[in-house]
Chains A and B, each alone.
Chain A
């Protein structure tokens, strides 16, 4: 309750950014409150660093407003903002020693010398670098450089500190201790921290609130608990922690069918017989005897992870990951139970049954049995199928008729991989071309935020001729 009473320091209003024709931030809205630790989390290329740079003043949005303490600051240069940044590569000044690096901002503010000395010394003590004043920053370790960078930002006493993946370059152990240290510094100094990372564990550990971003949009904003327990969609569920994400059908309120079984859940309002994504966390599955289980499956592997065993259980063709303190024998059949509360139902990322293309045949050859149509400026050839020129046609491409590997440039070049979610059986991949989105299945793991060619396998497609446009084409 106390948190909601805090005032908003920074507001991003409908921020839109485009670089070289590519949309980086797609109408983002975000409020950041006083004294909170907010983490912007997302895979690389999702726009999180750009968001931070907008707040810092290094990028100006194409449209939308940046509001700071109720004032619009779109055109205010970085040096006039009460915001300081801890950069990804630290960006310490190599020609200055530790003291002068930290004092840099204070000197510019014309703070009296003895006061600078007092403040810098105190700040260096806060970040545990007492006595390092005269050292060259180039001779410090990664963790020490990191702390100099933090001290340099903090000592200026800004209202907001921006941190751009500051722990990225550190090794795991140091990263863990720095996470706690950062959180502690934030608590002590009572500053607003906006932290950018692609590491979900880091986000959950440190944040008061997490902002999950993907592909230039905010997917979900919430406390770490909310994000973990109540992900809004398969992307968030997949990105935060481990999750079994399954295709399901919401039969009615509180009843969902997954893997051919009807289970009870607590979610409502999805309508009847709606395809949904279902998330079950591995630790929420209880292993039982086959008779007692809601689902049954065969144990494929069991790996000891210290606190628990991680088992892979095959339910038919679908793999389910289970974490349990007791191991089950490999090859044995087990039952699995989940309490209704732990079954999380989400809307599908792309609620379509198949990929449909509605188009007009631009060329057709009856003797050679093929026809062509135009799609996003490319000519697509459909072999072994004849539809006369000028006909309107609707092509249904099932998810497995799409692929992103093959010879040549593909039917569509440079299609953007928006998300990859493992659904126990296949990866479900959402692709974005110039004008639309596509859904495909793949057994290989693809890299999100990359560009790939897209191939259509029309032998798996079905066609429906719509005769309405016939006369127009004449």
Chain B
């Protein structure tokens, strides 16, 4: 009983600030401005299907790049000295202590015309624009969410018992076989967890594309952000569709990993 009482503040918080807003979004999505039932909102939401697809695509690419970068890093980390491991974790964490907007501005400054990258490449005789395109958005997103990929993979990998690796060697595995037959299969829960933690927020992110992207790199998060000022009903409808997609994604992910992996 005592422990249940301790959860009351959380339950109240969830009810007031999460459950009620979700229900309200549900209601708003299915009504028109005068409050009557209507499916018109979903029709107008459909106009944004292009943005929607592009958002999911950008999120998918970002997640894939995060995975490719994070996995070898996490694997190498587990083979470092414990003190070095802690230092590397610190280096990964420190940027996360800074404000989200500041970090995006850092990328704006890096990539802008006559910024450090532009100047450096100009000196080598390479000219071009590095901001205002999809690649810049993806770069910003990868930067933003990389820690969320590294940390779960690292956590799962560092828990792999060294005895299993020795057992694999003992049974005749060379380094490649140890990795392929033991380390990789056992790190899958971390991969699933990392993919979830990167894909879900990056699919619904906003501001990154506004600062780093071009005019047609607008993402669904930005659309929701804009549209809510003028048309709450359509905004709610888009949000609801987004939620359904993310939910489906989570269910699929659940099929691959065990439940613990998805927190």
Q: Are A91 and B173 in contact (CB under 8 A)?
A: no
Question: When chains A and B are docked, how far (Å) is the Cα of A87 from the Cα of B163?
Answer: 8
Which residues of A sit under 8 angstroms from B172, Cβ to Cβ? 79, 105, 108-109, 156
Count of chain A residues with Cβ under 8 Å from any Cβ of B? 24
9 smallest beta-carbon distances between A and B, as pairs: A105-B171, A91-B163, A91-B167, A108-B172, A78-B169, A95-B185, A85-B170, A79-B172, A79-B169
Contact pattern, B 135-173, Cβ under 8 Å of A = 1, otherwise 0: 000000000000000000000000001011011111111
Contact pattern, B 103-122, Cβ under 8 Å of A = 1, otherwise 0: 00000000000000000000
CB distance from B211 to the nearest CB of A (A): 43
Q: Are B170 and A93 in contact (CB under 8 A)?
A: no
Which residues of A sit under 8 angstroms from B181, Cβ to Cβ? 104, 108
Which residues of A sit under 8 angstroms from B186, Cβ to Cβ? 94-95
CB distance from A119 to the nearest CB of B (A): 14
Given the known interface contacts A94-B186, A95-B186, A104-B181, the answer about A156 and B163 at a Cβ–Cβ threshold of 8 Å is no
A84 within 8 A of B: yes
Which residues of B sit under 8 angstroms from A341, Cβ to Cβ? none
B89 within 8 A of A: no
B residues neighboring A (CB under 8 Å): 161, 163-164, 166-174, 177, 181-182, 185-186
Q: Which residue of A lies closest to B166 (CB)?
A: A58
A348 within 8 A of B: no
CB distance from A384 to the nearest CB of B (A): 48
Q: Which residue of A lies closest to B188 (CB)?
A: A95
Which residues of A sit under 8 angstroms from B167, Cβ to Cβ? 85, 87, 91-93
Q: Name 18 A/B residue pairs within 8 A (Cβ), A-sorted.
A: A77-B169, A78-B166, A79-B171, A79-B174, A84-B170, A85-B170, A87-B163, A89-B161, A91-B164, A93-B167, A95-B185, A95-B186, A108-B171, A108-B177, A109-B172, A153-B171, A156-B171, A156-B172
Which residues of B sit under 8 angstroms from A105, Cβ to Cβ? 171-172
Interface centre among B167, B173, B182, B185, by most chain A C-beta atoms within 10 angstroms, is B167
Contact pattern, A 86-102, Cβ under 8 Å of B = 1, otherwise 0: 01110111110000000
Q: Which of A153-171 contact B (CB under 8 A)?
A: 153, 156
Contact pattern, A 274-295, Cβ under 8 Å of B = 1, otherwise 0: 0000000000000000000000
Question: When chains A and B are docked, how far (Å) is the Cα of A108 from the Cα of B169?
Answer: 10
Question: When chains A and B are docked, how far (Å) is the Cα of A294 from the Cα of B162?
Answer: 58
A48 within 8 A of B: no
Question: When chains A and B are docked, how far (Å) is the Cα of A200 from the Cα of B169?
Answer: 30
Q: Are A93 and B166 in contact (CB under 8 A)?
A: no
Q: Which residue of A lies closest to B162 (CB)?
A: A91
Q: Are A79 and B161 in contact (CB under 8 A)?
A: no
Can you add 9 more A-B contacts, CB < 8 Å, to A87-B167, A93-B182? A58-B166, A78-B170, A79-B170, A84-B171, A87-B163, A91-B163, A94-B164, A109-B172, A153-B170
Question: When chains A and B are docked, how far (Å) is the Cα of A77 from the Cα of B178?
Answer: 13
Which residues of B sit under 8 angstroms from A388, Cβ to Cβ? none
Interface centre among B163, B167, B170, by most chain A C-beta atoms within 10 angstroms, is B170
Residue in B164, B169, B174, B177 whose CB lies within 8 Å of A93: B164
Q: Which residue of A lies closest to B186 (CB)?
A: A95
Which residues of B sit under 8 angstroms from A257, Cβ to Cβ? none
Q: Which of A138-161 contact B (CB under 8 A)?
A: 152-153, 156
Given the known interface contacts A79-B172, A79-B174, A152-B171, the answer about A87 and B166 at a Cβ–Cβ threshold of 8 Å is yes
Question: When chains A and B are docked, how far (Å) is the Cα of A420 from the Cα of B98?
Answer: 59
Q: Which residue of A lies closest to B167 (CB)?
A: A91
A61 within 8 A of B: no
Q: Are B171 and A104 in contact (CB under 8 A)?
A: yes
Q: Which residue of B lies closest to A149 (CB)?
A: B167
A224 within 8 A of B: no
Question: When chains A and B are docked, how far (Å) is the Cα of A105 from the Cα of B170?
Answer: 9
CB distance from A120 to the nearest CB of B (A): 13
CB distance from A76 to the nearest CB of B (A): 12
CB distance from B179 to the nearest CB of A (A): 13
Residue in B170, B174, B177 whose CB lies within 8 Å of A56: B170
Which residues of A sit under 8 angstroms from B170, Cβ to Cβ? 56, 78-79, 83-85, 153
Which residues of A sit under 8 angstroms from B185, Cβ to Cβ? 95
Q: Which of A45-71 contact B (CB under 8 A)?
A: 56-58
Which residues of A sit under 8 angstroms from B168, Cβ to Cβ? 93, 104
Question: When chains A and B are docked, how far (Å) is the Cα of A94 from the Cα of B156?
Answer: 14
Question: When chains A and B are docked, how far (Å) is the Cα of A58 from the Cα of B161?
Answer: 15
Q: Which residue of A lies closest to B163 (CB)?
A: A91
Q: Which residue of B lies closest to A104 (CB)?
A: B171
Which residues of A sit under 8 angstroms from B173, Cβ to Cβ? 79, 108
Question: When chains A and B are docked, how far (Å) is the Cα of A156 from the Cα of B173?
Answer: 12
Which residues of B sit under 8 angstroms from A83, Cβ to Cβ? 170
CB distance from B41 to the nearest CB of A (A): 46
Question: When chains A and B are docked, how far (Å) is the Cα of A437 from the Cα of B169?
Answer: 40
Residue in B166, B174, B177 whose CB lies within 8 Å of A91: B166
CB distance from B145 to the nearest CB of A (A): 27
Which residues of A sit under 8 angstroms from B177, Cβ to Cβ? 79, 108
